[in-house]
């Protein structure tokens, strides 16, 4: 699985801690982690939590990533921005129990975490435990197990509802504020990672026109 990490500007200084924790857990399980930044608090391309959501929508809908790990100070802003995108199902995850239940019940494709609220001593251990609950083993099995069938049915209904209520990603890219879009894809490693992994040719072509 291709996992994309996206941090926003207020928590960019913690990118290294988060990236190391994610790699430590995910890579031995056979997943590949792509760090889309921000890489430091003074990075040239500054990502807001709104841009995090837009970038998550681009990566997931183009299949450049299979899963997005993002967040902001409280985690709520990035979660809301992600869930405004077509095809993105993002949960607010604070601890390993949240991660387990989100993976088994909701089986979404993105999580948002709070990187200011409660991010204290040994925070990297909580991150690692969260990522283990998310990425080790099969998701979507249901919890409790006897409710697995109805949970899977509800996920399908939610997916259909979102498809009916949202525009497709290419339409979003064409109608969103183009300056906002340019800023969201301005990261120093965006082009390197995105164009090597994206599978939707229409989205790739449009983004290519944006980044030049």
Ordered by start, the domain boundaries in the chain are 2-211
Q: What pLDDT score does 212 carry? A: 83
CB hemisphere CA count around 106 (13 angstroms): 16
Residue 165: how many other CB atoms lie within 10 Å? 8
Q: For domain 2-211, which architecture applies?
A: 3-Layer(aba) Sandwich (3.40)
Query: pLDDT (tens digit, 9 = 90+) per residue, 33-61?
Result: 999 999 988 877 899 999 999 999 999 99
| Burial state string for 44-75 with b = 16 or more CB within 10 A and e = fewer than 16 | ebbbbbbbbbbbbbbbbbbebbebbbbbbbbb
Helices (H) and strands (E) in the chain, counts: 10, 5
Q: What pLDDT score does 42 carry? A: 81
Q: What is the mean pLDDT of residues 132-148?
A: 94
**Structure pTM?**
0.96
Question: How far is residue 31's CA from residue 109's CA, in Å, rounded to a whole number?
Answer: 14
């Amino acid at each position: 699985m291709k996992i994309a990490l996206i941090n926003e500007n207020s928590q960019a200084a913690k990118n290294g801690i988060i990236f190391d924790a994610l790699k430590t857990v995910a890579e031995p399980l056979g997943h590949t982690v792509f760090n889309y930044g921000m890489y430091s608090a003074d990075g040239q391309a500054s990502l807001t939590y709104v841009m995090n959501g837009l970038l998550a929508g681009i990566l997931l809908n183009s299949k450049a990533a299979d899963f997005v790990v993002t967040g902001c100070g409280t985690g709520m802003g990035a979660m809301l921005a992600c869930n405004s995108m077509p095809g993105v199902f993002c949960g607010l995850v604070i601890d390993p129990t949240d991660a387990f239940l989100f993976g088994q019940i909701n089986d979404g494709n993105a999580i948002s975490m709070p990187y200011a609220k409660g991010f204290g001593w040994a925070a990297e251990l909580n991150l690692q435990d969260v990522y283990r609950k998310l990425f080790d083993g099969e998701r979507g099995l249901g919890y409790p197990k006897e409710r697995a069938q109805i949970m899977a049915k509800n996920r399908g209904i939610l997916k259909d509802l979102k498809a009916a209520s949202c525009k497709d990603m290419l339409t979003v890219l064409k109608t969103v504020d183009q300056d906002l879009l340019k800023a969201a894809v301005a990261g120093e490693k965006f082009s390197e990672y995105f164009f090597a992994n994206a599978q939707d040719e229409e989205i790739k072509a449009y983004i290519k026109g944006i980044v030049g």
